[in-house]
Amino acid sequence: MTQRALRAAIVGGGIGGLTAALALQRAGVDFRVYEQAKEFTEVGAGVALGPNAVRLLNRLGIESRLDAIASRPSAYQRRRWHDGKVIVDSRTAGLLGRRMSLTVHRAQLLDVLVSGVAERYLEPGKRCTAVEQRDDEVHLTFDDGSTAVADTVVGADGIHSVVRSAYQQDAPVFSGKIAYRGLVPMERLSFLGEDRHLHRMWLGPNQHFLTYPIAAGAVMNVVAFVPADGSWAVESWSAPGEVERLAEHFEGWDPTVLGIIGALDRTMRWALYDREPLPKWTFGRVTLLGDAAHSMLPHQGQGAGQSVEDAIVLARCLERARPDTVETWLHRYERIRKERTARVQSASRQSGEIYDLTDPKEQERRAASTLATKGEWLWGYDADEEFDKAVAGMKA
């Protein structure tokens, strides 16, 4: 008898979950994406996609749509906080060659991803409340009382993953930092001149300030990282912040920083958390992806990128799996990804520490290393190639 095809369920319709959906669709795997929101949407904020993620997304057939929404910063800069002096410029430091990230609006990226997935695979308005493995199936329960059954479940439901909590009892780790986010129409920033095309960061004691273009250059994404004041540590991307309060944090900084803050109409703030690497993230027929598996601080610009890498490797594993072999393939997925993601998590923490050093000389000395870490090992990585090597090693 011919064994039936695998049925996969993805819990979470963010960047990682929808990238997995696109890849599974192209592979001919039967799946459903269960998203708690009634629509597949994202918050108004920017996201960087390094070359390691872009090459994978392009292979999914969305290159032209991605290019239409992306900005391509012309260089990376690190600047001194009080006078704006350039400490490192990727065009002259020879650190990255021609490699640069694409920078996009999260909501626009999600629109591109979801538009490529057939509607029959998408189940919005389904908040998962429980996951239970029974014999050779996984049963999902949703808050509306409905249920679903699959051969395998992928938890792509973020740092507060319900799927993860069914198997691992741990808590996010607070970094002690808060980030303010905001968007500025580029027409308000004419005083920046050609610098509006750059990915720039001002480094100062205990805090730093980041800007880069998104939405095909029409909007500037602004992120300001400051110490928590002890009264607020809410892990929400959409909690309202006050532009006046943000400006107070940066009194005495480079006038360019203050000019950008002054162009903001509103800001959101969120407290920065990550998690310690898990001893494992596959549990029988259930596995994790993206922030649910390895949430990380944003200081390497790799949260989305690592979710994309996960999604591609997982899809290639599930393409080969059958109901009776899926556990084996899920463990292979984890083995391919686990060491890589733990290294990126660690690098993200280390970069954040450098960005906020209180010793200005030490900070300037180490600033170049925060760009050098984006070199061959990070941006040169090809998840498809790593999968092929792993499979070849299994056959040897």
**CATH code of the domain in which 39 resides:** 3.50.50.60
Decide the pairing of beta strands 122-124 and 30-35.
Answer: parallel
pLDDT digits (tens, 9 = 90+) for 222-280: 999 999 887 666 666 567 788 999 999 999 999 999 999 999 999 998 889 998 899 99
- CA 249 to chain CA centroid, Å, is 26
In a domain, 112, yes or no: yes
In a domain, 222, yes or no: no
DSSP H helices in 28-69: 51-57, 63-69
In a domain, 40, yes or no: yes
User: Rounded distance, CA 374 to CA 365, Å?
Assistant: 17
The parent domain of residue 18 ranges over 7-63+99-171+275-356+372-395
Residue 142 pairs in a beta bridge with 128
In a domain, 378, yes or no: yes
What integer pLDDT is reported at residue 212 of this predicted model? Answer: 97
In a domain, 306, yes or no: yes
Query: At 99, which helix (H) or strand (E)?
Result: none
User: Rounded distance, CA 257 to CA 226, Å?
Assistant: 14
Q: How many domains does the chain have?
A: 1
Place of tokens 């001919």: 28
In a domain, 294, yes or no: yes
User: Rounded distance, CA 396 to CA 388, Å?
Assistant: 12
Q: What is the pTM of this model?
A: 0.95
User: Rounded distance, CA 305 to CA 247, Å?
Assistant: 31
Supply the residues annotated as catalytic.
212
In a domain, 298, yes or no: yes
Tokens read off for 319: 């393409």
Residue 345 pairs in a beta bridge with none
In a domain, 194, yes or no: no
Averages of pLDDT over runs of 10 residues in the chain (396 residues) are: 83 98 97 95 86 96 96 94 94 75 95 97 97 96 98 96 94 91 96 96 97 96 91 64 93 98 94 91 98 95 97 98 97 97 95 93 91 85 96 79
Of all residues in the chain, the percent with pLDDT exceeding 70 is 96
What integer pLDDT is reported at residue 14 of this predicted model? Answer: 96
Query: What backbone torsions phi and psi does residue 32 show, to the nearest 5 degrees?
Result: -140, 145
What integer pLDDT is reported at residue 92 of this predicted model? Answer: 83
Residue 207 pairs in a beta bridge with 204
